[in-house]
Amino acid sequence: MSVIAVHTITLNEEKNLPRWAESAEEADLLQIADTGSTDGTVELASDLDIDVTPIHVAPWRFDLARNAGLALLPPEVDVVITLDADEVLVPGWRAALEVAIVEDPYPRRWSYTYVWSWIEPGVPDVQFTADRCYSREGWKWHGAVHEVLVPSASRGDLDAPPAPGGFAIEHHADATKSRRNYLELLELAVREEPRNPRQRFYLAREYFFVGRWEIARDTFVSYLEMPQATWTAERAEAYRYLAKMDHYPERWLLKALAEAPDRRDAVVDLVDLYVGQERWVEARGMAARALAVKVRPGDYMTGAHTWDDEQLVRVLDGA
Protein backbone atom coordinates (compact mmCIF):
# COMPACT_ATOMS: atom_id res chain seq x y z
CA MET A 1 0.00 0.00 0.00
CA SER A 2 1.29 3.45 -0.92
CA VAL A 3 2.17 6.07 1.68
CA ILE A 4 0.02 9.09 0.80
CA ALA A 5 0.53 12.60 2.17
CA VAL A 6 -1.89 15.49 1.92
CA HIS A 7 0.06 18.73 1.86
CA THR A 8 -0.66 22.46 1.74
CA ILE A 9 0.62 25.90 2.61
CA THR A 10 -1.44 28.05 4.95
CA LEU A 11 -1.91 31.64 6.04
CA ASN A 12 -4.66 32.31 8.59
CA GLU A 13 -6.76 29.24 7.78
CA GLU A 14 -8.11 28.51 11.26
CA LYS A 15 -11.69 28.62 9.98
CA ASN A 16 -11.14 26.15 7.14
CA LEU A 17 -8.67 23.78 8.76
CA PRO A 18 -11.06 21.39 10.58
CA ARG A 19 -13.02 20.67 7.39
CA TRP A 20 -9.78 20.22 5.42
CA ALA A 21 -8.34 17.82 7.97
CA GLU A 22 -11.53 15.78 8.31
CA SER A 23 -11.75 15.26 4.54
CA ALA A 24 -8.15 14.03 4.43
CA GLU A 25 -8.18 11.87 7.56
CA GLU A 26 -7.49 8.70 5.55
CA ALA A 27 -4.10 10.04 4.48
CA ASP A 28 -1.00 8.60 6.12
CA LEU A 29 0.32 12.11 6.76
CA LEU A 30 -1.23 15.58 6.91
CA GLN A 31 1.44 18.22 6.44
CA ILE A 32 1.27 22.01 6.50
CA ALA A 33 3.88 24.63 5.78
CA ASP A 34 2.57 27.74 7.52
CA THR A 35 3.65 31.04 5.99
CA GLY A 36 3.05 33.33 8.94
CA SER A 37 -0.45 32.87 10.33
CA THR A 38 -1.48 35.31 13.04
CA ASP A 39 -4.72 33.56 13.98
CA GLY A 40 -4.90 30.12 15.60
CA THR A 41 -3.94 28.08 12.53
CA VAL A 42 -0.66 26.72 13.89
CA GLU A 43 -2.06 25.85 17.32
CA LEU A 44 -5.18 24.22 15.85
CA ALA A 45 -3.09 22.21 13.40
CA SER A 46 -1.03 20.85 16.27
CA ASP A 47 -4.20 19.97 18.20
CA LEU A 48 -5.45 18.06 15.12
CA ASP A 49 -2.19 16.08 14.92
CA ILE A 50 -1.21 17.77 11.67
CA ASP A 51 2.50 18.08 10.98
CA VAL A 52 2.91 21.87 10.82
CA THR A 53 6.15 23.78 10.20
CA PRO A 54 6.53 27.57 9.92
CA ILE A 55 8.30 28.78 6.77
CA HIS A 56 9.21 32.28 5.59
CA VAL A 57 9.19 33.20 1.88
CA ALA A 58 10.17 36.77 0.98
CA PRO A 59 9.43 38.22 -1.43
CA TRP A 60 6.32 36.10 -1.56
CA ARG A 61 5.65 33.71 -4.42
CA PHE A 62 3.67 30.50 -4.47
CA ASP A 63 6.15 28.17 -6.15
CA LEU A 64 8.89 28.76 -3.59
CA ALA A 65 6.43 28.27 -0.74
CA ARG A 66 5.07 25.03 -2.15
CA ASN A 67 8.56 23.69 -2.86
CA ALA A 68 9.62 24.53 0.68
CA GLY A 69 6.62 22.58 1.94
CA LEU A 70 7.44 19.56 -0.23
CA ALA A 71 10.99 19.56 1.12
CA LEU A 72 9.55 18.94 4.59
CA LEU A 73 7.92 15.64 3.63
CA PRO A 74 9.66 12.51 4.93
CA PRO A 75 11.30 10.20 2.38
CA GLU A 76 8.86 7.33 2.95
CA VAL A 77 6.03 9.29 1.28
CA ASP A 78 5.13 7.82 -2.13
CA VAL A 79 2.27 10.06 -3.32
CA VAL A 80 1.40 13.68 -2.54
CA ILE A 81 -1.95 15.43 -2.89
CA THR A 82 -1.67 19.20 -2.78
CA LEU A 83 -4.96 20.24 -1.19
CA ASP A 84 -5.49 23.91 -0.39
CA ALA A 85 -7.18 24.75 2.89
CA ASP A 86 -10.42 25.80 1.16
CA GLU A 87 -10.63 22.44 -0.63
CA VAL A 88 -11.87 19.05 0.54
CA LEU A 89 -11.38 15.48 -0.62
CA VAL A 90 -14.68 13.77 -1.41
CA PRO A 91 -15.23 10.58 0.65
CA GLY A 92 -13.94 7.45 -1.03
CA TRP A 93 -10.87 9.19 -2.40
CA ARG A 94 -8.31 6.92 -0.74
CA ALA A 95 -9.81 3.65 -1.96
CA ALA A 96 -10.18 5.03 -5.50
CA LEU A 97 -6.61 6.26 -5.63
CA GLU A 98 -5.24 2.98 -4.31
CA VAL A 99 -7.08 1.13 -7.07
CA ALA A 100 -5.69 3.52 -9.66
CA ILE A 101 -2.15 3.02 -8.39
CA VAL A 102 -2.49 -0.78 -8.44
CA GLU A 103 -4.03 -0.83 -11.91
CA ASP A 104 -1.28 1.30 -13.41
CA PRO A 105 1.73 1.59 -11.11
CA TYR A 106 3.92 3.48 -13.57
CA PRO A 107 2.26 6.92 -13.76
CA ARG A 108 3.83 9.62 -11.66
CA ARG A 109 0.72 11.79 -11.66
CA TRP A 110 -3.01 11.16 -11.26
CA SER A 111 -6.02 13.25 -12.29
CA TYR A 112 -9.36 13.77 -10.56
CA THR A 113 -12.65 15.63 -10.91
CA TYR A 114 -12.40 19.13 -9.46
CA VAL A 115 -15.43 21.26 -8.58
CA TRP A 116 -14.32 24.89 -8.63
CA SER A 117 -17.59 26.73 -8.00
CA TRP A 118 -21.23 26.17 -7.13
CA ILE A 119 -24.60 27.45 -8.32
CA GLU A 120 -25.89 26.69 -4.83
CA PRO A 121 -24.82 24.25 -2.13
CA GLY A 122 -24.67 20.79 -3.63
CA VAL A 123 -25.09 21.98 -7.24
CA PRO A 124 -21.74 22.33 -9.06
CA ASP A 125 -21.16 25.10 -11.58
CA VAL A 126 -17.62 25.05 -12.99
CA GLN A 127 -15.89 21.68 -12.77
CA PHE A 128 -12.97 20.23 -14.64
CA THR A 129 -10.14 17.70 -14.50
CA ALA A 130 -7.17 18.60 -12.28
CA ASP A 131 -3.98 16.74 -11.40
CA ARG A 132 -2.33 17.97 -8.20
CA CYS A 133 -1.76 14.37 -7.16
CA TYR A 134 1.74 13.18 -7.94
CA SER A 135 4.72 11.07 -6.95
CA ARG A 136 6.86 12.40 -4.10
CA GLU A 137 10.00 12.31 -6.22
CA GLY A 138 10.64 14.08 -9.49
CA TRP A 139 8.50 17.21 -9.30
CA LYS A 140 8.78 20.87 -8.41
CA TRP A 141 6.41 23.82 -8.55
CA HIS A 142 7.07 26.59 -11.05
CA GLY A 143 5.54 30.07 -11.34
CA ALA A 144 5.11 32.98 -8.98
CA VAL A 145 1.33 32.43 -9.11
CA HIS A 146 -0.90 29.96 -10.96
CA GLU A 147 2.03 27.70 -10.28
CA VAL A 148 2.28 24.39 -12.11
CA LEU A 149 4.07 21.12 -11.48
CA VAL A 150 7.04 20.52 -13.75
CA PRO A 151 9.62 17.72 -13.74
CA SER A 152 12.55 18.55 -11.50
CA ALA A 153 14.85 16.66 -13.85
CA SER A 154 14.79 15.33 -17.39
CA ARG A 155 12.98 12.03 -16.95
CA GLY A 156 10.92 10.40 -19.65
CA ASP A 157 8.58 8.74 -17.15
CA LEU A 158 7.33 12.16 -16.03
CA ASP A 159 6.25 13.24 -19.52
CA ALA A 160 3.30 10.86 -19.72
CA PRO A 161 -0.18 12.35 -19.18
CA PRO A 162 -1.81 11.85 -15.77
CA ALA A 163 -3.62 8.59 -15.16
CA PRO A 164 -7.25 8.81 -13.93
CA GLY A 165 -7.28 8.69 -10.14
CA GLY A 166 -11.01 8.03 -9.82
CA PHE A 167 -11.65 10.51 -7.00
CA ALA A 168 -12.88 14.08 -6.59
CA ILE A 169 -11.90 17.30 -4.83
CA GLU A 170 -14.23 20.20 -4.10
CA HIS A 171 -13.33 23.86 -3.75
CA HIS A 172 -15.37 25.95 -1.31
CA ALA A 173 -14.22 29.50 -1.84
CA ASP A 174 -13.64 31.66 1.21
CA ALA A 175 -14.82 35.15 0.32
CA THR A 176 -12.90 36.62 3.27
CA LYS A 177 -9.57 35.26 2.10
CA SER A 178 -7.05 37.88 1.04
CA ARG A 179 -5.85 37.90 -2.57
CA ARG A 180 -2.53 39.15 -1.29
CA ASN A 181 -0.49 40.70 -4.09
CA TYR A 182 -2.30 38.49 -6.61
CA LEU A 183 -2.31 40.99 -9.48
CA GLU A 184 1.29 41.98 -8.80
CA LEU A 185 2.33 38.33 -8.83
CA LEU A 186 0.64 37.81 -12.20
CA GLU A 187 2.44 40.84 -13.60
CA LEU A 188 5.69 39.37 -12.25
CA ALA A 189 4.93 35.99 -13.82
CA VAL A 190 4.43 37.61 -17.24
CA ARG A 191 7.66 39.58 -16.90
CA GLU A 192 9.51 36.40 -15.98
CA GLU A 193 7.99 34.41 -18.83
CA PRO A 194 6.91 36.81 -21.58
CA ARG A 195 6.37 33.89 -23.97
CA ASN A 196 4.08 31.99 -21.60
CA PRO A 197 0.54 32.39 -22.99
CA ARG A 198 -1.12 30.87 -19.94
CA GLN A 199 0.18 33.49 -17.54
CA ARG A 200 -0.67 36.34 -19.95
CA PHE A 201 -4.21 35.02 -20.30
CA TYR A 202 -4.62 34.88 -16.52
CA LEU A 203 -3.23 38.41 -16.19
CA ALA A 204 -5.72 39.73 -18.74
CA ARG A 205 -8.53 37.96 -16.91
CA GLU A 206 -7.46 39.46 -13.58
CA TYR A 207 -7.44 42.95 -15.07
CA PHE A 208 -11.00 42.21 -16.19
CA PHE A 209 -12.04 41.02 -12.72
CA VAL A 210 -10.73 44.17 -11.02
CA GLY A 211 -12.46 46.43 -13.56
CA ARG A 212 -9.39 47.63 -15.45
CA TRP A 213 -11.03 47.00 -18.80
CA GLU A 214 -8.77 49.06 -21.05
CA ILE A 215 -5.61 47.21 -20.05
CA ALA A 216 -7.57 43.94 -19.94
CA ARG A 217 -8.56 44.41 -23.59
CA ASP A 218 -5.00 45.22 -24.58
CA THR A 219 -3.64 42.21 -22.70
CA PHE A 220 -6.17 39.82 -24.21
CA VAL A 221 -5.30 41.11 -27.67
CA SER A 222 -1.57 40.73 -27.01
CA TYR A 223 -2.24 37.19 -25.77
CA LEU A 224 -4.11 36.35 -28.98
CA GLU A 225 -1.18 37.69 -31.03
CA MET A 226 1.32 35.38 -29.31
CA PRO A 227 2.62 32.57 -31.55
CA GLN A 228 2.64 30.38 -28.44
CA ALA A 229 -1.10 30.91 -27.83
CA THR A 230 -2.26 27.82 -29.69
CA TRP A 231 -4.82 26.26 -27.32
CA THR A 232 -8.05 26.94 -29.17
CA ALA A 233 -10.24 26.60 -26.07
CA GLU A 234 -8.29 29.30 -24.25
CA ARG A 235 -8.19 31.53 -27.34
CA ALA A 236 -11.96 31.22 -27.60
CA GLU A 237 -12.25 32.16 -23.94
CA ALA A 238 -10.18 35.30 -24.58
CA TYR A 239 -12.64 36.34 -27.29
CA ARG A 240 -15.53 35.68 -24.90
CA TYR A 241 -13.98 38.07 -22.38
CA LEU A 242 -13.51 40.68 -25.10
CA ALA A 243 -17.20 40.31 -25.87
CA LYS A 244 -18.06 41.14 -22.25
CA MET A 245 -16.27 44.49 -22.62
CA ASP A 246 -17.84 45.56 -25.92
CA HIS A 247 -21.17 47.17 -26.76
CA TYR A 248 -21.24 44.94 -29.85
CA PRO A 249 -20.25 41.53 -28.49
CA GLU A 250 -21.45 39.47 -31.46
CA ARG A 251 -18.28 39.95 -33.50
CA TRP A 252 -16.10 38.62 -30.67
CA LEU A 253 -18.41 35.69 -29.98
CA LEU A 254 -18.31 34.68 -33.64
CA LYS A 255 -14.50 34.75 -33.45
CA ALA A 256 -14.69 32.58 -30.33
CA LEU A 257 -16.92 30.14 -32.17
CA ALA A 258 -14.53 30.05 -35.12
CA GLU A 259 -11.63 29.26 -32.78
CA ALA A 260 -13.38 26.34 -31.09
CA PRO A 261 -16.36 25.20 -33.18
CA ASP A 262 -16.58 21.91 -31.29
CA ARG A 263 -17.41 23.62 -27.97
CA ARG A 264 -20.67 24.95 -26.58
CA ASP A 265 -19.39 28.00 -24.70
CA ALA A 266 -19.54 30.70 -27.37
CA VAL A 267 -22.61 29.09 -28.95
CA VAL A 268 -24.59 29.44 -25.73
CA ASP A 269 -23.33 33.01 -25.33
CA LEU A 270 -24.75 33.71 -28.79
CA VAL A 271 -28.04 32.06 -27.83
CA ASP A 272 -28.29 34.38 -24.83
CA LEU A 273 -27.37 37.40 -26.96
CA TYR A 274 -29.92 36.62 -29.67
CA VAL A 275 -32.68 35.90 -27.16
CA GLY A 276 -31.99 39.26 -25.51
CA GLN A 277 -32.19 40.95 -28.90
CA GLU A 278 -35.32 38.95 -29.85
CA ARG A 279 -33.52 37.50 -32.87
CA TRP A 280 -35.40 34.24 -32.59
CA VAL A 281 -34.29 32.57 -35.81
CA GLU A 282 -30.62 32.99 -34.89
CA ALA A 283 -31.30 31.99 -31.28
CA ARG A 284 -33.00 28.74 -32.30
CA GLY A 285 -30.25 27.96 -34.78
CA MET A 286 -27.57 28.39 -32.15
CA ALA A 287 -29.58 26.40 -29.59
CA ALA A 288 -29.73 23.49 -32.04
CA ARG A 289 -26.00 23.80 -32.64
CA ALA A 290 -25.28 23.77 -28.89
CA LEU A 291 -27.42 20.69 -28.31
CA ALA A 292 -25.49 18.86 -31.03
CA VAL A 293 -22.36 19.10 -28.83
CA LYS A 294 -22.69 16.15 -26.46
CA VAL A 295 -19.32 15.91 -24.71
CA ARG A 296 -18.42 18.34 -21.94
CA PRO A 297 -14.70 19.17 -22.01
CA GLY A 298 -12.62 18.54 -18.93
CA ASP A 299 -11.29 22.08 -18.57
CA TYR A 300 -12.17 25.03 -16.37
CA MET A 301 -13.94 27.22 -18.94
CA THR A 302 -17.41 25.69 -19.00
CA GLY A 303 -20.04 26.40 -16.38
CA ALA A 304 -23.32 24.63 -15.70
CA HIS A 305 -25.34 27.19 -17.70
CA THR A 306 -23.60 26.07 -20.88
CA TRP A 307 -24.83 22.52 -20.25
CA ASP A 308 -28.42 23.40 -19.33
CA ASP A 309 -30.10 21.35 -22.05
CA GLU A 310 -33.59 22.17 -20.77
CA GLN A 311 -33.06 25.87 -21.31
CA LEU A 312 -31.69 25.27 -24.81
CA VAL A 313 -34.68 23.07 -25.69
CA ARG A 314 -37.04 25.81 -24.55
CA VAL A 315 -35.30 28.26 -26.88
CA LEU A 316 -35.39 25.73 -29.70
CA ASP A 317 -39.12 25.21 -29.15
CA GLY A 318 -39.74 28.96 -29.06
CA ALA A 319 -40.77 28.99 -25.41
Residue 277: predicted pLDDT: 97
Give the residue, 267 or 138, on which the prediction is more confident. 267
Looking at the DSSP bridge assignments, the partners of residue 124 are 118
Q: CA 173, CA 179: separation in Å to the nearest integer?
A: 12
The answer, yes or no, to whether residue 57 has pLDDT greater than 80, is yes
Residue 289: predicted pLDDT: 97
> pTM for the complete prediction?
0.92
Q: CA 301, CA 209: separation in Å to the nearest integer?
A: 15
Which amino acid is present at 161? P
What's the mean pLDDT in 67-85?
A: 96
Nearest to 51 by CA among 80, 71, 66, 31: 31
Nearest to 183 by CA among 151, 209, 162: 209
Residue 105: predicted pLDDT: 66
Is the bond into 59 cis (omega within 30 degrees of 0)?
Answer: yes
Average pLDDT of the chain to the nearest whole number: 94
Which strand (E) or helix (H) includes residue 121?
A: none
User: How big is the chain by its Cα radius of gyration, in Å?
Assistant: 21
Where are the extended beta strands (E) located within the chain? 4-10, 29-34, 51-54, 79-82, 87-89, 109-115, 118-120, 123-124, 127-135, 139-142, 148-151, 163-171
The answer, yes or no, to whether residue 187 has pLDDT greater than 90, is yes
Query: Domain 4-171 class?
Result: alpha beta
Confidence of residue 85 (pLDDT cuts 50, 70, 90): very high
Rounded to 5°, angle at Cα 74 from 69 and 78:
95
Residue 153: predicted pLDDT: 74
Confidence of residue 178 (pLDDT cuts 50, 70, 90): low
The answer, yes or no, to whether residue 201 has pLDDT greater than 90, is yes
What's the mean pLDDT in 223-232?
A: 98
Residue 265: predicted pLDDT: 97
What's the mean pLDDT in 236-245?
A: 98
Tell me the H-state helices in 104-231.
Answer: 182-192, 197-209, 213-224
- Residue 88, CB-side half-sphere exposure with 13 Å CA sphere: 15
Q: What are the pLDDT digits (tens) for 147-172?
A: 999 988 766 667 788 999 999 999 99
Dihedral angle, C-alpha 16, 19, 24, 26, nearest 10 °: 150
Which amino acid is present at 81? I
DSSP-derived secondary structure letter, 158: G
Confidence of residue 107 (pLDDT cuts 50, 70, 90): low
Where exactly are the structural domains of the chain? 4-171
Residue 157: predicted pLDDT: 64
Residue 319: predicted pLDDT: 66
What's the mean pLDDT in 245-272?
A: 97
Which amino acid is present at 263? R
Q: CA 300, CA 295: separation in Å to the nearest integer?
A: 14
What's the mean pLDDT in 70-77?
A: 95
From residue 230, how far is each of 70, 114, 226, 293 by CA, in Å? 32, 24, 8, 22
Residue 27: predicted pLDDT: 98
The answer, yes or no, to whether residue 23 has pLDDT greater than 90, is yes
Nearest to 240 by CA among 305, 304, 307, 302: 302
Q: CA 149, CA 138: separation in Å to the nearest integer?
A: 10
| φ, ψ of residue 20 in degrees (nearest 5) | -60, -50
Q: CA 227, CA 178: separation in Å to the nearest integer?
A: 34
Residue 1: predicted pLDDT: 76
Q: CA 257, CA 236: separation in Å to the nearest integer?
A: 7
Residue 41, Cβ density class (10 Å: 0-12 exposed, 13-18 middle, ≥19 buried) = buried
Residue 176: predicted pLDDT: 75
Residue 239: predicted pLDDT: 98
What's the mean pLDDT in 139-153?
A: 92
Residue 67: predicted pLDDT: 97
What's the mean pLDDT in 210-233?
A: 97
Residue 152: predicted pLDDT: 83
